[in-house]
Structure 1
Amino acid sequence: MSATRPALAEASSGQPRAQGAVTLAVARRGAATRLVGLRQEGALKLLFPQPRPGPMQAVLLNTSGGLTGGDRMRVSAEVGPGAALTLTTQAAERAYRAAEGVARSEVQVRMGAGAKLHWLPQETILFEGAALERRLILEMEEGAEALIAEPVIFGRREMGEALARATFRDAWDVRLCGRLVFADALRFGPDAAATLASPALGAGAGAMASLLLVAPHAEGKLAPLREALGPRGGASLVREGVLFARLLAEDGFRLRHHLEPALALLAGAALPKVWRL
């Protein structure tokens, strides 16, 4: 596997827009995972907390302060054979009102044989009028394991905010040894209020999280995960070794009440420290 430099897409507007890209590569050296390649461009930066036992941790920081129409962000990572990496974010991402255009964010990760990845960003908060498209592409080799989580908040209810109009698209594509093992495409808007109010869709939820575990032991996590998610969550074994779950909640606080223990269960370890700051 070899890292490639991501090309920053041109913004769709003549107005100044934020662009950022990071490319990193990690490899196993003895019993530890080491950084072997790093490139940072524009508004995206990576921070590396003090080493501790377990996977290497990398924390993403968007220095632009949020996303709006025309912004472009891309993360590209290579996790070498047997290496272990946890990727998270320093704080919640914010998608603000888009006067024109759409903000786009892409995460692409390649994993070698026996590699482990935890992609655990903190919440994305959608503000009124936001327009955001995200894409996650994960390519795994034999024996690789991945835990993916994406929490989203539909306006900050505790701040008196209501999400009436917004556009949100989120697509996941996961391949194991070149074979598609999981795909999910979520889309709503511009009438976000109608979608979130529908009993068959949002059921009045103010927050949501999607979770995916690709690992040989996934089936054994199904029953305890359903218990951890509570009555507003659901989990299914999509196929052998692939477990998917979705959780709805009234707001971000109640989402975390169930999400944090669910993630700790699936990860088999405590969440990154930035989640608890």
Structure 2
Amino acid sequence: MTPLLTVENLKAGFPTRTGLVEAVRGVSFTLGRERLGIVGESGSGKSQTGRAIMGLTPPHARISADTLRFGDTDLLALSPRQRRRLRGKRLAMILQDPKYSLNPVMTIGRQIVETLLTHEKLSSRDAKAKALSMLEAVQIRDPERVFGLYPHEVSGGMGQRVMIAMMLVCGPELLIADEPTSALDVTVQLDVLDILDRLVRERGMGLIFVSHDLRLVSSFCDRVLVMYAGRVVEELDASRLSEAKHPYTQGLIDCLPRIEADRHPLPVLQRRKEWSL
């Protein structure tokens, strides 16, 4: 089968006064209809990889790849207008914090309906009905009331559910979730992950789950890519994460809190000199 997404030698750089800053340096992977986790410390290039795939990098960014293909579509060959038609309809991205992603002067319902009317030929009544149905699908109680609220009137957990509803309402084939639970309480995180898991399984979507939480990714995803300094240093099945060979991945695993009294207090500092690219 043709992979849902094929990425070969993806690079993303940003010109500065002191030269080109390479945020992504030759990332390669394929994605089927599965859950792929991308993990690494802050600044490792996780989010920029997702933004480059979506075409959401700033105009001055320098993006290149040997292959950047979504199904049979060459993403690098598309015009900005063609990219906009693709985003939201077949490709969607959930950003990290809903309070910065939702428009503060538009009601929640209006924002979801706007997404629908941009990509589908629906009447306003049908668009509202579909939006309410999607809010209900992400386990929002009383969707009619939430439909008329502004983003500042809902909690962080509900705001993230609204973002999920907005990104999934047009039925995309690929969803990129950029740390969608990092700003949420643990119990709310579990609810959001359960919603994502159920919707991905029911719709047969591909999911790229970007996170710095190795334990969360290992329990939620099928495969894991580990990034360091803009490159993929290791790729393995989530179930085999304990068998990681690269010193950086081992360092991330050693950073996870343990109850055992004999854990090493500074494993990362001890191993930093071993991290070679």
TM-score normalised per structure 1: 0.30
User: Larger % of helix: which?
Assistant: 2
User: Larger % of strand: which?
Assistant: 1
TM-score normalised per structure 2: 0.30
Larger Rg: 2
